[in-house]
Amino acid sequence: MLNCCGLVSEENEPVPLKSISVQLQVKDHVVSVSSRQQYVNEEERPLEAVFVFPLPADAAVCHFSARIGEQEIVAELQDKQSARDQYDEAVSSGQQAFLLEESDESWDVFKLSVGCLSPGQNAVITIVYVMELSVQADDALRFCLPAVLNPRYTPAASSAGVPEVSSACVIPYTLSLSVDVNLSAGHRFDKDVELLLYYENTHHPTVVMEAGASEAQPGSLMGDPVLMISLYPEFPAVIMSSLASQGEFVFVVDRSGSMGSVMHHGKDAQMRIESARDTLLLLLKSLPMGCYFNIYGFGSHFESFFPQSVVYSEDTMEEALKRVKNMRADMGDTEILQPLNHIYSQPCHPDHPRQLFIFTDGEVWNTKEVLDLVKSHVYSHRCFSFGIGEGASTALITGMAREGSGHAQFITGTDRMQPKVMESLRFALQPAVDRFSVDWTLPEGVTVDMLSPPINNLFQGQRALIYAQLKGQSSGTTRAAVTLNYRLKDQPVTDQLQFTLKPKEDTGWTIHRLAARSVIRSLELEERAGGADAEAIRSRIVELSVQAGVSSVHTAFIGVNKDSKQTVKGPLLQRRVPVQSLFRQSAPGMRIQEPEPQTDPLLQLVSLQKASGCWELNTTLADVFGKTEDEVTNHRPAQVDGSVWATVLALIWLNTCRSDDQIEWQFVAMKAASWIRSQKRETFIHSFIHSFIHSAFSVS
């Protein structure tokens, strides 16, 4: 594991980051973020500082400037190598210079180099970025200001050029966040800041049109109007209750040393690996009979429970549960490509679509390579991803779900993993919106170029933002329309959206820049796929990045203070901003001692259920209910089998004692009800339930 890095004094004290101020402007489903960071050189010699920090994975950086005293330096976006050369030349000649560049390995990591700060000198850095707001399970739009970036594990052979990063929470600076509200003074930025926005008519599609820049060339992306279409389909209750009984489910669990840390720093916090074990219990009990499944654990190496996926049965489920109980965070560092390559190499089972559930705290170094692999298998594998704990890489977690047509979830703070994972399982078992098409009604002389990749599927809880560029001029009407066509469980759906070709002037160009970011990301994926046109693709990325003013892997922001009256003389101290590891790291093969957890009665009940969906009537089940075996047995009608009675009692307990946790036990309950129906005892049992609730099974 890499050591912590950062900007430190000779006494190992953190310097010079003093404050961060953040302002947000929300527009429909997107946001523009302006972040100001103040640095001070408190040392007695000139300083070169390197600050590695996180940004959201889908952020498009579109402005970078620095103020030194009264001097404002606005950086230009250039080819990355050219920008690096200019920076090195300026610093070596004693000029002040600033360089902001995106990591070659991960979209959510940026490196800021601050060159030639004189002793006692202040520098205020301003970074502006735009991004899409993600949709949450309750239809809220979520903005997250990352505070934590866990260290990325890097194999020794691949360490060159990978930034050493971690949490900035130990640095004693202040944070101000302005979104019509301000955080109190002294707020400690030791965890992500989240903002949830709720709109009316959340499932109603919308279209927003943004005028082009007047100084840009007509016909270019920035010179023409750009549209953003938001599609967030609503799934009726009948669709939500329609679950598939087939499929292959592969659960891939991070078992690196970082998974031995706690989920949060509050009271009674679980270890990450402990929460993963509990979640696997729920998943295994919730799978439908006759499907296929397997479980992988990975770290420096990987292992699978079975050589290949097996049919879900009582025997295979019990075997898997025994191995789940022994899972520990003891597999060293994190290498996720190996298990993914192995999974993708396995032949798929006909009529059983393969779906991956990947659990990790996001400490991988080769994010882009992982996403390329996931994308290349999207037509045969769907991917659900779960970021565990503060600092999980948004680029990795959201990227795997996006490229794998799945769903991403983040488990942070005091969030429980189980309800979020079971929500994703419901998505995996539900039909999807498919067969998308977009039709345009435009006046003569106006054409449209689609800037977003085509949509294959949308699942419940997913939202698509579609970008399009309008070209040409209309001499007549300014009215136009776009029609969205898709299918939801074999039912055709059509939405038509009206808009005008004369939008209000907008100097922010948020939508233009996000559209450019979408095109750039597609080009970067195409470039990494290889081919004879790689150099042409690279040139197109640089051209579009510079034209739109948004960052890319091949460009960087460079600013040089050429008006400075004096140069900085003497050797520079190079400092890196100190950061703190949020977990204790174990060596490969080391077993972390974990405390024996207190068993949740819900998980205890679920653990007793058979794969078919029934429970057995015994003392262990009675203990979950807080009853003796005699108390639950004496009220059993003589004509009712013990397993049928036990299953009825379990369903009653779930609905009366744990109704608030229904999302966690919904599938085990569905299996139980289905099993009772198969016993042809349903009508007889119903006659006993009401009286039983009010007598032998009273609950507080």
Tell me, what's the pLDDT at 556?
A: 94
CATH of 243-410 given 3.40.50.410, 3.40.50.300, 3.40.50.1240, 2.10.10.90:
3.40.50.410
* Residue range 17-198+549-570 in CATH 2.40.30: no
Burial class (CB in 10 A: 0-12, 13-18, 19+), 615: buried
Helix axes 662-678, 682-693, angle to 10 degrees: 130
Q: Which tens digits make up the pLDDT trace of 279-314? A: 999 999 999 888 999 999 999 999 999 999 999 999
Q: Which tens digits make up the pLDDT trace of 173-218? A: 566 767 644 544 555 556 667 788 888 888 899 999 999 988 889 9
Give the rounded distance of the alpha carbon of 79 from its chain centre: 29
Q: Residue 320: CB partners within 8 Å, gap ≥ 6?
A: 284, 293, 295, 305
Contact at 8 Å (CB) between 276 and 263? no
- Is a pLDDT exceeding 60 seen at residue 270? yes
User: Closest Cα partner for 276 from 301, 302, 258, 249?
Assistant: 258
Residue with token string 């990301």: 521
Tell me, what's the pLDDT at 160?
A: 41
Burial class (CB in 10 A: 0-12, 13-18, 19+), 345: exposed
**Among 55-69, 333-347, 654-668, which is the least confidently predicted range?**
55-69
Q: CA separation (Å) from 328 to 23, 413, 603?
A: 42, 22, 19
- Paired sense of beta strands 433-441 and 174-178, if any: unpaired
Share of the chain above pLDDT 90, in %: 33
171/167 Cα distance (integer angstroms): 9
Q: Which tens digits make up the pLDDT trace of 488-532? A: 877 899 999 999 888 776 667 899 999 999 999 888 878 876 666
Contact at 8 Å (CB) between 100 and 63? no
Burial class (CB in 10 A: 0-12, 13-18, 19+), 429: buried
Residue with token string 């996006």: 402
Band (434; pLDDT cuts 50, 70, 90): confident
Q: Where are the domains of the chain?
A: 17-198+549-570, 243-410, 601-693
Tell me which H or E stretch contains 682. Answer: helix 682-693
579/362 Cα distance (integer angstroms): 17
pTM here? Answer: 0.69
Burial class (CB in 10 A: 0-12, 13-18, 19+), 546: middle
User: Closest Cα partner for 556 from 127, 159, 222?
Assistant: 127
461/409 Cα distance (integer angstroms): 11
